[in-house]
Amino acid sequence: MGFREHAARVRRILGIVLAVLLLGGVAFVLVTNGPQDKGTAPKTVRGVIGSEKGEFFADPDVVKALAAQGLTVNTETSGSWDMEQLPLKGYDFAFPASKGPADELRAKAPDKAVAAPLRPFYSPLVVVAHSNAARVLAANGLAALGARGTSGILRMDAYLAAVRADRGWQQLKGADKHTELSGTLFITSTDPLASSSGALYLAAAGYVADGGRVADGSQAVGRTAPLLRKLTRVQGAQQTNSDAPFRDFVSGVGNPLVLVYESQVAAQLLAGRPMGDLVVLYPDTTVNSDHTLVPLTEAGKELGRLLSEDPELRRLAVRHGFRPQGAAPEFTEATDPYGAYLNQTLTGVRQAPVPTGTVLRDMARRARDQGDPA
């Protein structure tokens, strides 16, 4: 073999070796620096929620905290009692605002073991009032205001007595100085056949009206039905969720007294939004709205567990005004600057027991003048 042929052969061999080395290097890069499949793709969880929790689940920080736990949550809103009418197929969870509709949903769930309810957080029902209205109520013995006049107690016995007597605002001492206080005295609430807050309002009112007895059947409901009908009929058309009446109140329109969740007020305060002349009245007998998640799949169950136990999600629930279940220093610490509006320890507030879902439905039907249940 001549020199030239030998040199060409060496060059071909070196080229092949170099190509192999380069390919090996590329392969090494691809293995070590290429995209890694960590097996942690987020799990999508679909559910139906009460509108009062819409902002919580839409919060980018909540989305991020859930994603860190491997969950992407897609929600749609519904009145709590209306959820019972929805087909549950395709949902991983339902999240009404109280135990009554949650019990109904669990009864419909295909897997009763999975559907054991979880209660991550709760919120007392309160009445928001404009300052003129609150002062008139206080002057007539229907309310007691704190030193700064931005919070107080609504005396349910006195209020219900005024409702029974069909009293109007202008019959109350001092109301003649405020032209916006006219017509019948009443609290705006939501449709009790569709919304949890409206039904719980009837539960508290019925409990007070019946001498501190929780309604346990048709006869008990019948004793308070005329009063509950008055509370509801005077309002005319009612909203199916608590979000719209609260927004109307904050914007300065609508009735001067509106039933809302404490969480809606607390969220306003924590977000630094203007409060205007808002006064928070805690009924001396009220009902806690236990936001109750009904899992329909294991993924829904995992979501409920995280909302109950994960420190970051508990902190974010407080940011939206909710009180986490159990010892909740998160709520106390976060709302400490707003004691002029919020009754952190619920001093002077008694919790009324809530009737069963069946009895509560009966109360709502009678209040809406739909007669005895079939």
Confidence (pLDDT) at 84: 85
Long-range CB pairs of 64-70 (<8 Å, 24+ gap) are 65/310, 65/312, 65/313, 65/316, 66/303, 66/306, 66/313, 67/42, 68/312, 69/306, 69/310, 70/40, 70/42, 70/43
* pLDDT greater than 90 at residue 232: yes
* Predicted confidence (pLDDT) per residue in 272-291, tens digit: 998 999 999 999 999 999 99
Q: Span 121-142, mean pLDDT?
A: 97
Q: Domain 124-288+349-367 falls in which CATH fold? A: D-Maltodextrin-Binding Protein; domain 2 (3.40.190)
Read off the tokens for 25: 């290097």
List of E strands, the chain: 43-49, 71-77, 93-95, 118-130, 143-145, 151-154, 257-261, 278-283, 285-286, 288-295, 323-324, 350-351
Residue bearing the bigger pLDDT, 202 or 41: 202
- For residue 46, which amino acid is it? R
Cα dist. 158→174, 232, 284 in Å?
17, 18, 11
Task: Return the percentage of the chain with pLDDT > 70, whole number.
Answer: 88
Read off the tokens for 70: 């491997």
Residue 141: DSSP 8-state: T
Is 124-288+349-367 the same fold as 43-122+289-338? yes
Q: Count the neighbouring beta carbons within 10 Å of the beta carbon of residue 166.
A: 11
Question: For the ranges 108-112, 301-305, 306-310, which has the lowest average pLDDT?
Answer: 108-112
Confidence (pLDDT) at 48: 96
Nearest-CA neighbor of 367 among 253, 212, 199? 199
Q: Span 76-100, mean pLDDT?
A: 91
- Architecture category of domain 43-122+289-338 in CATH: 3-Layer(aba) Sandwich (3.40)
* pLDDT greater than 60 at residue 96: yes
* pLDDT greater than 90 at residue 131: yes
CA distance linking residue 307 with residue 328, whole number of Å: 13
* Predicted confidence (pLDDT) per residue in 336-351, tens digit: 999 999 999 999 999 9
Q: Span 72-87, mean pLDDT?
A: 91
Question: Domain-by-domain residue ranges, the chain?
Answer: 43-122+289-338, 124-288+349-367
- 12 falls in which pLDDT band (50, 70, 90)? low
